[in-house]
């Protein structure tokens, strides 16, 4: 007898409850080797898959999709979907689910954590102590940071996460300016107490520039030398969106040459990065290992939605969140 259950491929393990849920309905294959799933194995396994669960680092390109004749659903465990060739998937009638909203607060919290860390030099101090280099206390110029009150926070990309960051930054008395493809309504601008400015003004005026745009062809390495040299020399850059929005080599150069004061990054051009990465050697840089959505609460909700999107998609019903 042939197994009639749909075949679901997961490029890595999800929470146990999610696996249990999927197993009730489908035949599943969970790849448990080194991350990311090698292209060759993905190409083999996806041939018979009806649905795919993937993650932001899996490259689901046109060739992979074309090699999956039975594929009906792609459910990504992420808000970003820049790793999926959406155009090809849609051409083949494949439904794509993703997990926005549930990670807004977690990502905004991390952005603020990085902002505070950077401006008050917390991690820098931690590194100093661990290296046995804390020799004096309370010096007038030692380990001094910058206060948030009254500083201008420039938000590049005023979607859900950008807005949640604005809300939090107000608590610290920061002034908010933003640039977005589409200007917010007057009512929302008022509620967020945020001023719309041109991209150029955003770059030039921000004391802290925080990136919250999606990664697209249009935002590919948009923060490069030309932009960095327009920023205030006293300013800071934060990125919790996607690594490839910044030209990392230009950023390292800008930090080295004092074009800007510091940077805090949760995302990188190529992840994971190691201790020999140029940015990992700089004292005025705070690094996080792509943990924007990484809270127990959020990750659980992401898994629930990933599973629900997949089930609804295979049942030909409307997904909770679809692209």
In the complex, which residues of this chain contact ligand DGY (CB under 6 A)?
A: 56, 78-80, 103, 290, 292-293
**Shortest Cβ 211–ligand DGY spacing (Å):** 12
Displacement of CA 11 from its chain's centroid (Å): 19
**Closest separation between CB of residue 241 and ligand DGY, Å?**
8
Between CA 30 and CA 14 the distance in angstroms is 9
Catalytic residue among 83, 121, 212, 290: 290
- Which residues partner with 263 through β-bridges? 237, 285
The Cα–Cα gap between 203 and 235 comes to 10
Side-chain-side CA neighbours of residue 188 (13 Å)? 13
Q: Which is nearer to ligand DGY, 56 or 157 (CB)?
A: 56
Determine whether 278 is an active site residue.
no
User: Shortest gap between Cβ of 83 and ligand DGY (angstroms)?
Assistant: 9
Are 45 and 71 spatial neighbours (Cβ–Cβ below 8 Å)?
no
Q: Which of 44, 66, 101, 271 is catalytic?
A: 271
130 has catalytic annotation: no
Buried b (16+ CB within 10 A) or exposed e, 176-214: bbbbbeeebeeeebeebebebbeeeebbebbbbbbbbbb
State how far the Cα of 138 lies from the Cα of 110, in Å rounded to an integer: 29
Closest to ligand DGY by CB, 11 vs 78, is: 78
Least distance in angstroms from the C-beta of 113 to ligand DGY: 14
3-class secondary structure, 9: strand
Closest distance between ligand DGY and the C-beta of residue 299, in Å?
A: 9
Residue with Cβ nearer ligand DGY (80 or 157): 80
Q: Choosing from 179, 242, 248, 304, which is the catalytic residue?
A: 242
242 in active site:
yes
Q: Among residues 148 and 222, whose Cβ is nearest to ligand DGY?
A: 222
Task: Tell me, rounded to whole angstroms, the distance of Cα 307 from its chain centroid.
Answer: 21
Please list, residue by residue across 22-31, b when 16 or more beta carbons sit within 10 angstroms of its beta carbon and e when fewer do.
beeebbbeeb
Least distance in angstroms from the C-beta of 204 to ligand DGY:
28
Computed on alpha carbons and rounded to an integer, the radius of gyration of the chain in Å comes to 22
C-alpha closest to that of 196 among 184, 210, 208: 184
Catalytic residues: 242, 271, 290
């Amino acid at each position: 007898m042939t197994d009639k259950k749909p075949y679901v491929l997961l490029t890595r393990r999800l929470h146990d409850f999610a696996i249990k849920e999927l197993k009730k309905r489908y035949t599943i294959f969970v790849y448990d080797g080194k991350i990311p799933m090698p292209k060759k194995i993905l190409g083999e396994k996806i041939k018979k898959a009806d649905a795919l669960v993937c993650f932001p680092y899996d490259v689901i390109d046109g060739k992979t999709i074309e090699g999956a004749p039975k594929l009906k659903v792609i459910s990504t465990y992420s808000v970003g979907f820049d790793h999926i060739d959406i155009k090809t998937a849609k051409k083949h009638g494949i439904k794509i689910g993703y997990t926005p909203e549930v990670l807004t607060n977690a990502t905004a919290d991390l952005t603020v954590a990085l902002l505070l860390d950077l401006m008050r030099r917390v991690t820098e101090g931690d590194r100093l102590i661990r290296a046995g280099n804390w020799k004096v206390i309370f010096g007038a110029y030692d380990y001094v940071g910058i206060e948030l009150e009254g500083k201008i926070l420039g938000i590049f990309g005023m979607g859900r996460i950008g807005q949640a960051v604005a809300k939090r930054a107000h608590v610290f008395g920061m002034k908010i300016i933003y640039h977005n493809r589409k200007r917010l309504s007057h009512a929302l601008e008022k509620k967020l107490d945020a001023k719309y400015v041109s991209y150029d003004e955003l770059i030039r005026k921000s004391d802290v520039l925080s990136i919250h745009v999606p990664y697209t062809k249009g935002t590919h390495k948009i923060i490069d030398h030309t932009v960095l040299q327009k920023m205030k020399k006293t300013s800071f850059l934060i990125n919790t969106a996607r690594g490839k929005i910044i030209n990392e080599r230009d950023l390292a150069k800008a930090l080295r040459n004092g074009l800007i004061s510091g940077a805090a990054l949760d995302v990188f051009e190529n992840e994971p990065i190691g201790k020999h990465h140029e940015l990992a050697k700089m004292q005025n840089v705070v690094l996080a290992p792509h943990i924007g959505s990484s809270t127990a609460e959020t990750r659980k909700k992401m898994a629930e939605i990933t599973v629900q999107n997949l089930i609804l998609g295979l049942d030909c019903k409307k997904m909770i969140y679809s692209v």
